Amino acid sequence: MVSSVKGSSAVRSFSILACGLSGLALVLLLASGPGTRLGWWDFRFGLGLFRDSIFAAGAGFLSCLAVLVFLRRKVRGLGPAWAGVVLGLLIAGNGFFWIQGARNAPRIHDITTDTQDPPLFEAVLPLRQKALNPVQYGGPAVARQQQEAYPDIQPLVVQQPPAKAWDACLKAAQAMGWEIVEAREAQGRLEATATTFWFGFKDDVVVRLLPLKDGSRVDVRSLSRVGLSDVGANAKRIREYLKKIRENFPS
């Protein structure tokens, strides 16, 4: 009887310890993004915390799963192990899909609808003084990688005069939640800064509006300030932005 109680106590302690690994993963995950956004540490350190949260979650999930598989019929009090399995699976699963996306994405951070003549940044230049990535376009090598990975990123042509197209461009930028740095209708250019949700990364966007004979052409360029790869964020941003412009012109 006494040995049974001691055994149950030991298993419960191990269950709590295993669940603690998943709890540690949650702490690391919650610290990785907000800490970077608040400037508590460099973004590289934040990404390291994010990576470590995945490892901790995987270890927590496997440890808790082992407790449940081998001991669930012998003792009670395995609630922490069940919690650790669920929490570890959620964090590790999310991290796995993020890593897969990062591996599949090209190692570029500058995406534009016009790779031959990309829109130029002007107004945001003072904001990029500490940026690690230059504003100069990478040329054919970057264009080739973009076209292979994101062939759908193309200029948007609308059958609307520049005045109406400009209103749609501005409204779409505001709907995206971007910080508008400059908007010059006469020049047909808009510059803004987008901030990512979790890590608070700053990406700069320039929109160029050109008049056509029977409408207008919209070109967009989105450039990250840091990071060799944007993990597809800039392409996703351009897609969403152009979609919002189209929504202003129902067919």
First to last CA, the chain: 77
75's CB contacts (< 8 A; 6+ apart) are 7, 8, 11, 12
Task: Calculate what percentage of the chain has a pLDDT beyond 90.
Answer: 71
Q: How far apart (Å, rounded) are the C-alpha atoms in residues 248 and 216?
A: 14
DSSP state of 137: -
Q: What is the model's pLDDT at position 4?
A: 45
CB 171 within 8 Å of CB 5: no
Amino acid (1-letter code) at residue 111: I
CB 190 within 8 Å of CB 180: yes
Average pLDDT rounded to a whole number, residues 176-193? 97
Helix-then-strand count for the chain, H and E? 6, 6
Average pLDDT rounded to a whole number, residues 12-27? 84
* pTM assigned to the model: 0.86
DSSP state of 130: T
Judged by average pLDDT, the poorest of 32-46, 115-129, 159-173 is: 32-46
CB 181 within 8 Å of CB 249: no
Structure tokens of 127?
């904001």
pLDDT tens sequence across 81-107: 888 899 999 999 988 888 888 888 999
Judged by average pLDDT, the poorest of 41-55, 89-103, 183-197 is: 89-103
The most distant pair of C-alpha atoms in the chain lies apart, rounded to whole Å, by 91
Higher pLDDT, 74 or 19: 19
